[in-house]
Structure 1
Amino acid sequence: MVAKRQVVRRLTVFGSCLAVLLVGLAAPAAAEPETPVVYPSGSTATRADRLGFDTCTAPSLTALQAWRGTSPYSAVNIYFGGNNRGCAQPNLTKAWVRDVTAAGWKLLPTYFGYQPSCMFGDKPHRYTASNATSRGTSDATDAVAQAKALGLLAGSALYADVEHYDRTDSTCRTAMRRYVSAWTKTLHGAGYLAGVYVHQNSGLLDLSDSYDSTTYARPDAVWMARWDGSPSLTGWPTAPNSHWSVFQRAKQYEGDHKETWGGVTINIDSDVLRAPVASVARTYEVTSTTSLNARSGPSTSTSVVRTYAPGASLSVVCQGSGQKVGTTEVWDRLTNGAWVSDYYVSTPSDTGFSAAVPRCVYPGQVTTSSLNARTGPGVSFPTTGSPLRRGALAYVMCQKSGSTVGSTSVWNKLRDGRWVTDRHVSNRSNTTWSSPVPRCR
């Protein structure tokens, strides 16, 4: 991480206020440890399942273009803010984010803010148990502002860099947990997922120990440093496989070294990701010969909220399923939250989903010890696959009425096509629909 280039190697919540500002949205339904994310309409979570690398200064677009077709990597971190960030970022602009994403790179946004008072190294800005909550809140608030300035949409996962620290200091361990809890709740209130970069022998161990604690909000994803050369996301010695188990893990498996691809040499750490990353809009054009209606849902039966002229540019966030139009059932969600049929948009496919565009998903953490997934929206449908464990991210695509479980008859269709009752998924409501998740057809 960035600290290695300058120092010894390491090695409350405003969510409820924001929800009030978002007109017509129900209040969050749960508290610690599974706090809900208040997703705005023009948002989605994006997942990555690939190799990546991190480096102190964001590489130039030219360097990444040289690496894209020749290296094994297709994800890269960006140090997008924080008062302990040590490297200059001459390349890191909104245009760079747009162009790098368009070139096929996934981005792992990393925020290097306040550090535990017992951190190994000489970073100057630190927190204690008495101010960790306020530091976590202020860092997360700034991270959201910096992310928005770069075009990182709500639904993105933002990762707080928590450097290796002395676990013999119990007060410092408490401070770290308070900081991460405040970071998590504040990001959730602003519509972002909360990730944390941690050392396997300090931050990961302490967060895993408090995984089920009702005192601290649990982050959505962990990025663990263990330089053992193994790109494995299971079998970690300081966190069981049941913790952060569904596209919620990344690992930095090789430390500081140089690699050359396409004639370009970069000093990097190597990573493997199966985790949420940044969501970035992609620009396409209207291909219809008449004006294209943008609607409140993925169906021509929903209301028209805007029209776009032929050839107009569209900022596409993600794709979901809806009413068939022409040759496709795919609909595109725009940054303003509206939907347009993909049949009239210049995405790579007009018959199915386009690989370059993420699916529309709105994850919430599972709130029960074991949640069965089923083949349909009801308890009469057979279970399928492994149950989701507590804290796992349920990547919800859409919602539909089904059999009543507890206080709700709402069921969630997941990214993998399975169904779970909404009763045990942390989102804005566990009694009714949760905006901006669309209804399933």
Structure 2
Amino acid sequence: MPHLSHLSHHEPPPSTPQPTPHRRGLPTRHRARSRVTALISALAVTVAAAAVTADQAVADPATPVTYPAASSATRTQGRFFDTCTAPSLAALAAWRGTSPYTGVNIYIGGRNRGCAQPNLTASWVRSAAAAGWSLVPTYFGDQPFCVYGSKPYRYTATGAAARGDADGTDAVAKAKALGLLPGSAIYADVEHYDRSNASCVAAVRTYVSQWTRTLHRNGYLAGVYVHQDSGLRDLAGSYLSTTLARPDAVWMTRWDGVASVTGWPTARDTLWAEWQRAKQYRGDHVETWGGVSMNVDSDVIKGPVATVAKAYRVTSSTPLNVRSAPTTSASIIGRLPAGSTVSVVCQARGQRVGSTSVWDRTTTGGYVSDRYVSTPSSTTYSAALPRCASPGQITIGTPVNTRSGPGTGYTNLNRPLQGGALAYVACQKSGSLVGTTRVWNQLVDGRWVSDYYVSNRSNTTYSAPVPRCP
């Protein structure tokens, strides 16, 4: 996804057998090729016959994410750009509102990262997020040994798992240093490679699987940036593997000028189907907005991005109670002085206080009523803040029904969650028994799904830190 100038994904001319280096690492121009329908169909048949077991919530490929209290996933839909060096805040300000972009990629680390990052600090992250930019964190770590181009750091078939773990561990450390909170998605950059080498394909799958497991253990969502004709094909082929952890989101490169997260030739729409996709649809070019020119790649996303806390003011005239859950009956775990600053991670629905039932989750993991916080709205959710969500993947390969309430007796909404889809869980409530649990999850969009089919910390009882539904 980088360009030659700042390391991005460039597409080779039709006559060129191998891709040329790009700016982020080594982009390559891709042309649509035949679908992998035979393999996908075979996998679908296998999954349809699979039985649901009691320990499925902790099995591959849907490894559970261990979310800490002060965490939340943030998802967005729209266009973003990526450029090798994080732009200055002044450049972002010039592009904000004048360009079609609402997000920007940031290269947070990795031994193959090719550009210096003089602007990329925790302060820059806070300021960019406060200005309304969605941030797409990318880690340019080691590449497979058969990668096209000249990236110096590569892993072997036998070293892929260890490298995936090491890169995942370092990516989490880099994310935390920048203020990217747990629940954020971090995308591993996997450049275009020679997939005729079976050993290399296996190495890529192993690396991505271990990257995913490591991020999940640390409370982060695992994304991957891939070429449509190598990484995307191979991860789609192992989507229903019973031994490889499946990444939560895919960001693919295909420079066809079509800004769409559906209709991809090498991964059917039922794979990574629930706010889990991004596409780089145009490579290396210069755009000018607000009088500022930048060399960028153009992308579209409907998926998870970084979660960054935002600062607001306590508006109450007396100290504001911080509670363990979004209700006044929950225990008090802290107090904020009147007029002080509170760092808000996300917003949840809870007990009504005054004019609002919205509560704000803080970076301490506690909740304060939004009635006493200077967010943009005093009656409902604020667009500047995400809904609190602790996503888990659907653990079976076939679609799971969503309902209008917490039970099988409620209306089937005919909007199922596909196998492997992310269920963005807002809260949990007891309902009808399914498998080993009566717990049902309400999603951020209001749909309900049995917790039995969602990979979280338990499929028998409630999972921290998800709050109870009011």
Confirm or deny: 8 A CA contact 2:3 2:283 kept in the other structure. Answer: no
Confirm or deny: 8 A CA contact 1:58 1:79 kept in the other structure. Answer: yes
Q: Percent identity?
A: 64
Measured after TM superposition, the shift of residue 385 of structure 1 is 3.3
| Counterpart secondary structure, 2:441 | strand
What is the CA–CA distance in structure 2 between the aligned matches of 1:329 and 1:147, rounded to whole Å?
A: 32
Measured after TM superposition, the shift of residue 8 of structure 1 is 2.2
Q: Can you list the C-alpha shifts for 1:77-133, whole angstroms capped at 9, x where unaligned?
A: 000100000001000000000000000000000000000000000000001110000
Confirm or deny: 8 A CA contact 1:28 1:36 kept in the other structure. Answer: no
What is the CA–CA distance in structure 2 between the aligned matches of 1:124 and 1:413, rounded to whole Å?
A: 46
Structure 1 residue 272 corresponds to structure 2 residue 272: no
Equivalent residue letter for 2:303: A
Q: 1:405 aligns with which of 434, 448, 451?
A: 434
> TM-score, with normalisation over the residues of structure 1?
0.95
Equivalent residue letter for 1:175: A
Matched ranges for 1:270-419 at <5 A: 270-368=298-396, 369-419=398-448
Confirm or deny: 8 A CA contact 2:80 2:101 kept in the other structure. Answer: yes
- Residues paired across the two proteins, number: 426
Structure 1 residue 136 corresponds to structure 2 residue 164: yes
| Counterpart secondary structure, 1:270 | strand
Equivalent residue letter for 1:187: L
The residue that corresponds to 2:459 in the other structure is 430
Q: Can you list the C-alpha shifts for 1:357-385, whole angstroms capped at 9, x where unaligned?
A: 11001100001211000000000001003
What is the CA–CA distance in structure 2 between the aligned matches of 1:386 and 1:286, rounded to whole Å?
A: 40
| Counterpart secondary structure, 1:205 | helix
What is the CA–CA distance in structure 1 between the aligned matches of 2:178 and 2:460, rounded to whole Å?
A: 36
| Counterpart secondary structure, 1:371 | coil
Q: Can you list the C-alpha shifts for 1:123-145, whole angstroms capped at 9, x where unaligned?
A: 00001110000000000000000
| Counterpart secondary structure, 2:119 | coil
Structure 1 residue 8 corresponds to structure 2 residue 24: no
Equivalent residue letter for 1:97: V
Confirm or deny: 8 A CA contact 2:2 2:284 kept in the other structure. Answer: no
Equivalent residue letter for 1:118: C
What is the CA–CA distance in structure 2 between the aligned matches of 1:291 and 1:385, rounded to whole Å?
A: 46
Deviating above 4 A after TM superposition, structure 1's stretches of 4 or more consecutive aligned residues are none
Q: 2:211 aligns with which of 173, 177, 183?
A: 183
| Counterpart secondary structure, 1:62 | helix
Structure 1 residue 211 corresponds to structure 2 residue 224: no
Measured after TM superposition, the shift of residue 31 of structure 1 is 1.6
Equivalent residue letter for 1:230: V
Measured after TM superposition, the shift of residue 232 of structure 1 is 1.2
- Is there any run of 5+ residues in structure 1 with no aligned partner, and where? 12-26
Structure 1 residue 46 corresponds to structure 2 residue 74: yes
Q: 2:118 aligns with which of 81, 90, 108?
A: 90
What is the CA–CA distance in structure 1 between the aligned matches of 2:232 and 2:310, rounded to whole Å?
A: 34
Equivalent residue letter for 2:323: R
Measured after TM superposition, the shift of residue 2 of structure 1 is 2.9
Confirm or deny: 8 A CA contact 1:163 1:198 kept in the other structure. Answer: yes
What is the CA–CA distance in structure 1 between the aligned matches of 2:335 and 2:86, rounded to whole Å?
A: 38
Measured after TM superposition, the shift of residue 28 of structure 1 is 9.7
What is the CA–CA distance in structure 1 between the aligned matches of 2:409 and 2:379, rounded to whole Å?
A: 33
| Counterpart secondary structure, 1:284 | strand
The residue that corresponds to 2:93 in the other structure is 65
What is the CA–CA distance in structure 1 between the aligned matches of 2:228 and 2:56, rounded to whole Å?
A: 32
What is the CA–CA distance in structure 2 between the aligned matches of 1:224 and 1:4, rounded to whole Å?
A: 18
Measured after TM superposition, the shift of residue 416 of structure 1 is 1.1
| Counterpart secondary structure, 1:389 | coil
Measured after TM superposition, the shift of residue 29 of structure 1 is 3.8
What is the CA–CA distance in structure 2 between the aligned matches of 1:232 and 1:284, rounded to whole Å?
A: 35
What is the CA–CA distance in structure 2 between the aligned matches of 1:165 and 1:105, rounded to whole Å?
A: 32
Structure 1 residue 261 corresponds to structure 2 residue 289: yes
| Counterpart secondary structure, 2:213 | helix
Confirm or deny: 8 A CA contact 1:373 1:388 kept in the other structure. Answer: yes
The residue that corresponds to 2:14 in the other structure is none
Measured after TM superposition, the shift of residue 3 of structure 1 is 6.0
Structure 1 residue 197 corresponds to structure 2 residue 225: yes
What is the CA–CA distance in structure 1 between the aligned matches of 2:311 and 2:188, rounded to whole Å?
A: 29
Q: What is the Cα-based RMSD across aligned positions, in Å? A: 1.1
What is the CA–CA distance in structure 2 between the aligned matches of 1:28 and 1:126, rounded to whole Å?
A: 34
Matched ranges for 1:3-42 at <5 A: 4-5=4-5, 8-9=21-22, 10-11=27-28, 29-42=57-70
Q: Can you list the C-alpha shifts for 1:175-227, whole angstroms capped at 9, x where unaligned?
A: 00000000000000000000000000000000000000012100000000000
What is the CA–CA distance in structure 1 between the aligned matches of 2:104 and 2:377, rounded to whole Å?
A: 27
Confirm or deny: 8 A CA contact 2:71 2:181 kept in the other structure. Answer: yes
What is the CA–CA distance in structure 2 between the aligned matches of 1:233 and 1:431, rounded to whole Å?
A: 35
> TM-score, with normalisation over the residues of structure 2?
0.90
- Is there any run of 5+ residues in structure 2 with no aligned partner, and where? 8-19, 29-54
What is the CA–CA distance in structure 2 between the aligned matches of 1:108 and 1:309, rounded to whole Å?
A: 34
Structure 1 residue 122 corresponds to structure 2 residue 150: yes
Q: Can you list the C-alpha shifts for 1:23-63, whole angstroms capped at 9, x where unaligned?
A: xxxx9941210000000000000001011100000000000
